[in-house]
Amino acid sequence: MGIPFDSFGVMIDCSRNAVMNKAAFCKMTDILSALGYNTIRLYTEDTYEVDGEPYFGYLRGRYSKQELKEMDAYCAARGITLVPCIQTLAHLGTIFRYADYGAIRDADDILLVGAERTYALIENMFRSLAECFRARRVNIGMDEAFLLGRGKYLTQNGLVPSAVIMRRHLERVLAIAKKYGFSCEMWGDMFLHAAYGDGRNDAAAVREQVPEDVTLICWDYYHTDKEFFLGEIDKYKALSDRVMFAGGAWTWLGFCPNNSYSIKEIEAAIRACVARGMRDVFFTLWGDNGGECSPFAVLPSLVCAAEFARGNFSMPSVKQRFAEVVGEDFDLFCALELPDKIYAGEEPDCQDPSKVLLYTDPFMGIYDRCVREGTAEAYYTGVSETLRKGETGEWAYLFRPIRALADVLAVKFELGVQTRKAYAAKDRAALARLAGERYPLLLQRLETFYDEYERFWMTEKKPQGFEVQDARLGGLIRRVKHCMDRLNARLSGGIGSIPELEEELLLPFGQKEGCPIAYNYYNCLYTVNVT
């Protein structure tokens, strides 16, 4: 059985600091082509060259027009359509730091609807896209503009319903797209919320606001129940006759993928899409909060998606296909998620303790109340040994940093809890062991992790964006050293106390005891102070 969809693809996020380099992109294209995918969507908020907009993507690793032309040609030669995914309303926060764009900021990361400079920018976008892509299909974004019309637009125009503002803006964007021969798709959540949010059921009224010449994307990555996806597709079909579906392969929790959850979600989504006769389906590889995870790390999910679409749900057969195309053991590849599975089997399935406990401060651990003592070192030592099996051959560069991360967590995961406990008990011997053994060991392992992660990044990504990893990981290394030095100063009598260790820790963000460790944003993991 062949894949039953007209277009079946993957969307690669190249906007969250991690811009995939051309060599890695071509490698991914080869794999996807071998699996039967016929579409790649390239998600670029401001990471592509736009004539007349020198600050658009400035120092962000943006793709040049020549790079995009070459990538487009590479895809075409392998039977794949490369579709640009841009933003024409929200998710453009990185450009608003520049005065020219600040003038067309409504609120948050949203463009000012109605401003002629907004549409001059959008026309420049389309003019550049038209030069670079064979396809005359484009994803225009339009998602998650929650504060639309609530900033500068409100001051200039008074209170206007967001659905009305959306329609006005959308009509102008579609007209520009049509001028350059593009048909448009857009994320459908703003219309979905307008129709069904807060218990409403205004599908008929909202349908009148959806232009006939745009395709709505029904997207969801957070469920594993076929019935849920059937219901979501039906909601979208009540809003438009032109609907496509987007699921997700989880690359956005931090350094590690989540294939086990993704595979369950993808299976449910594909079964629902087949049942509802969907013609266009793709899976997103988002890179929230820094693009730390490799898109290749979810190849198990992408192989499953291709085989499930063919009606092949036999996992032994899927694993054999994986070995043929990827050249590695399926289960070993899935082990890349193990640093996040220390509390496996508990809700939610999408916890990310590896990132949380990596960055949590040793003295002011926001998430230390969620740590259960006595399990981490043995668990992460075992994970390290498992991942060592992948440190040969083509994919070694993926396994080495994740193994190094496991080695870090074997020490770091409980370090804050251990430090606070020893300090509270005035246990000088325990504090001396921590300061003299565990903190130095952690520093050594952090340096190894940094080296391996840098090597991984430079293999797959453009160098722009790694300065953020430098700041985060370098800051962590320096902070660990600072805490170690403070402990030694307390032991020697150089300082009388460590105030951070004397303040009672509360539950993170008001959560309950035993709360899951699932929060991705670095600035809320590391400290509660201003970053």
Q: Residue 422 and residue 143: Cα distance in Å, rounded?
A: 49
Please give the structure tokens belonging to residue 56. 């658009």
CA 105 to mean position of chain CA atoms: 24
Portions of the chain given CATH number 3.20.20.80:
7-327
Q: Residue 380 and residue 495: Cα distance in Å, rounded?
A: 34
Contact 38, 312 (CB under 8 A): no
Give the pLDDT confidence score for residue 516 in this predicted structure.
76
What is the pLDDT tens value at each position of the chain, 531 positions in all?
Answer: 799 999 999 999 999 999 999 999 999 999 999 999 999 999 999 999 999 999 999 999 999 999 999 999 999 999 999 999 999 999 999 999 999 899 999 999 999 999 999 999 999 999 999 999 999 999 999 999 999 999 999 999 999 988 889 999 999 999 999 999 999 999 999 999 999 998 888 999 999 999 999 999 999 999 999 999 999 999 999 999 999 999 999 999 999 999 999 999 999 999 999 999 999 999 999 999 999 999 999 999 999 999 999 999 999 999 999 999 999 999 999 999 999 999 988 777 888 999 999 999 999 999 999 899 999 999 999 999 999 999 999 999 999 999 999 999 999 999 999 999 999 999 999 999 999 999 999 999 999 999 999 999 999 999 999 999 999 999 999 999 999 999 999 999 999 999 999 999 998 876 777 677 888 889 888 898 987
Half-sphere exposure in the Cβ direction for 377 (13 Å, CA): 9
Q: Residue 11 and residue 84: Cα distance in Å, rounded?
A: 10
Give the pLDDT confidence score for residue 510 in this predicted structure.
65
CATH architecture assignment, domain 336-526? Up-down Bundle (1.20)
| Helices of type H across 278-426 | 299-309, 315-326, 330-334, 353-359, 376-388, 396-412, 415-424
Give the pLDDT confidence score for residue 304 in this predicted structure.
98
Give the pLDDT confidence score for residue 280 in this predicted structure.
98
Give the pLDDT confidence score for residue 264 in this predicted structure.
98
Portions of the chain given CATH number 1.20.120.670:
336-526
Please give the structure tokens belonging to residue 47. 């990471």
DSSP state of 338: G
Q: Residue 381 and residue 379: Cα distance in Å, rounded?
A: 6
- Is pTM beyond 0.95 here? yes
Select from 3.40.50.800, 3.20.20.80, 3.30.465.10, 3.40.50.11810 the CATH code of 7-327: 3.20.20.80
Q: Length of the chain, please?
A: 531
**342 three-class SS:** coil
Q: Residue 254 and residue 525: Cα distance in Å, rounded?
A: 12
Tell me the C-alpha to C-alpha distance, in Å, between residue 221 and each of 9, 218, 295, 470.
15, 10, 16, 30
Sign of CA dihedral 328, 334, 337, 341: negative
277: region left, alpha or beta (phi > 0 left; psi from -120 to 50 alpha): left
Angle at 497 between CA 494 and CA 503, to 5 degrees: 155
Give the pLDDT confidence score for residue 482 in this predicted structure.
98
Q: Residue 119 and residue 169: Cα distance in Å, rounded?
A: 9
Find tokens 């195309």 and name the residue.
Answer: 325
Query: With 0-12 CB in 10 A as exposed, 13-18 as middle and 19+ as buried, what is 521?
Result: exposed
Q: Residue 281 and residue 187: Cα distance in Å, rounded?
A: 13
Q: Residue 73 and residue 133: Cα distance in Å, rounded?
A: 9
Query: With 0-12 CB in 10 A as exposed, 13-18 as middle and 19+ as buried, what is 127?
Result: middle
